[in-house]
Amino acid sequence: MNAEAALPGAPFLARDLPGEGGRLRLEGHALADLAQRFGTPLFVYSRGAMRSALAAYQDALRGRAHLVCYAMKANSSLAVLQTFAQAGCGFDIVSGGELARVQAAGGDLSKVVFSGVGKTRAEMAQALRAGVRCFNVESEPELDTLNAVALDLGLRAPVSLRVNPDVDAGTHPYISTGLKGNKFGIAHADALAAYRHAASLPGLRVVGIDCHIGSQITQTGPYLDALDRLLDLVEAVEAAGIAIHHVDVGGGLGITYTDEQPPAAGLLVAELLHRLDARGHGHRELLFEPGRSLVGNAGVLLTEVLVLKPGHVEDGGKNFCIVDAAMNDMVRPAMYQAWMGIEPCEQRACPATTWDVVGPVCESGDWLGHDRSLAVAPGDVLALLSAGAYGMTMSSNYNTRPRAAEVMLDGAQVHLIRERESVAALFANERLTA
């Protein structure tokens, strides 16, 4: 097998041939050297991989009215946002904090869509003043609140209703969002009435319709089903005299962590455009909110092996490879039983053993990989692959562990984009009592 194709994140992630040292490289930079220079745990991203993932959507949408809004919950570090802003991308935000990040990164606020089931009045006002592109509204009460906030400010809020299309995205229950039993969106059966209500409120202006059916989706079928359900509604709403400009199909396209074979973004876009055309809606602006598929395979998490702790495997024990990254740095395995690739940054000649790769946090759920065959020794650096999405943004300070540093690679350049958090910063806001 071609060594590059075997690594998720190829061609930006590749391993030198064994005869040439077998070093793992991201965008040409040896990861072991970066670990040495910046310390571990360390997130390392390839700007080239991010740009290329975005271009896959943008190229397929060329010539059509469209906007790609990066779902920044996947990775909201300022330099990541800057990368997408410079490429003309908009942003899907879910909090006032995310809006502030877009502003700090120089993003275009007129390309921001504001999603989320529980926006506060303060967040609504902040986004209205900032002039965001639209609010993805998830309930009738939210329409009323937004209307009141907009009228108070003497503004009109552009709204798109997030409809729950009740389609099964076929993914993990925690990240499936478009089924009747999920908290998200307005039920399909209630949507027409909600549009009539929205159109009657003077502080609102209806601009679109949207949905988001889940995450790590590996087929195009659920998207096409959801689009059909949205277009049925668009037709009913427009027949009632309410114009709908854009259709937002959400995010959710999966990536390869192990053997998943999600459709390429270009294929997904082509199929959706084809369906829009076939149903006579080709003139509509199409919005996407991809998160994971823009950044997931553009990043790795580097971690050093602290201790090898062999167990009595013959008696049901386990061999533990204890590393300096933990569930507080990358919670996906603990939270979703997610499988993420683990690769040594330099290859050893010694035979491989089966290890559970675990962190130092005091929880049995603190693991990064079970039963991995690795040739390792203490001091070696391992790379947790596909760590660009939902790694840093979901990290915490559990066990009073400072959050990791982050590095952005851009061709020959290496940028430290986030300094390692200091322990002092962790309790700087705390006070002893008198």
Residues marked active site are found at 362
> Which residue has the closest beta carbon to ligand LLP?
291
Query: Which has the closest alpha carbon to 56: 102, 89, 7?
Result: 89
* 285 phi/psi in degrees, rounded to 5: -75, 135
Q: What letter does residue 116 receive in the DSSP assignment?
A: -
Between CA 286 and CA 250 the distance in angstroms is 10
Q: What is the DSSP string of 135-188?
A: EEE-SHHHHHHHHHHHHHHT--EEEEEEEE------S-GGGB-SSTTSS-SEEH
Q: Which is nearer to ligand LLP, 48 or 262 (CB)?
A: 262
Q: Prior bond to 41 cis, omega within 30?
A: yes
CB of 345 or CB of 384, closer to ligand LLP: 384
Distance in Å, CB of 73 to ligand LLP, minimum: 6
Q: Give CA separation, 44 vs 265, 319, 414, in Å.
A: 23, 28, 10
Q: How far is the CB of 380 from ligand LLP (least distance, A)?
A: 26
The nearest distance, CB 331 to ligand LLP, in angstroms, is 8
Positions that interact with ligand LLP (CB under 6 A): 71, 73-74, 92, 115, 175, 212, 215-216, 250-253, 289-293, 332, 336, 390
CB closer to ligand LLP out of 30 and 117:
117
Question: Closer CB to ligand LLP, residue 138 or residue 380?
Answer: 138
Residue 211 and residue 425: Cα distance in Å, rounded? 39
Question: Measured from the CB of residue 243, what is the shortest distance to ligand LLP in angstroms?
Answer: 23
Structure tokens at 301: 């998490």
Q: What is the bridge-based pairing of β-strands 381-384 and 342-344?
A: antiparallel
- Counting every residue written for the chain, the total comes to 434
Q: How far is the CB of 195 from ligand LLP (least distance, A)?
A: 19
Nearest to 171 by CA among 216, 211, 225, 221: 216
| Minimum CB distance to ligand LLP smaller for 203 or for 299 | 299
Distance (Å, rounded) from C-alpha 344 to C-alpha 24? 8
Nearer to ligand LLP, 90 or 344 (CB): 90
Q: How far is the CB of 89 from ligand LLP (least distance, A)?
A: 13
Interatomic CA distance for residues 70 and 259, integer angstroms: 25
CA 4 to each of CA 11, 115, 285, 369, 386: distance values in angstroms, whole numbers, following the listed order: 6, 37, 37, 22, 14
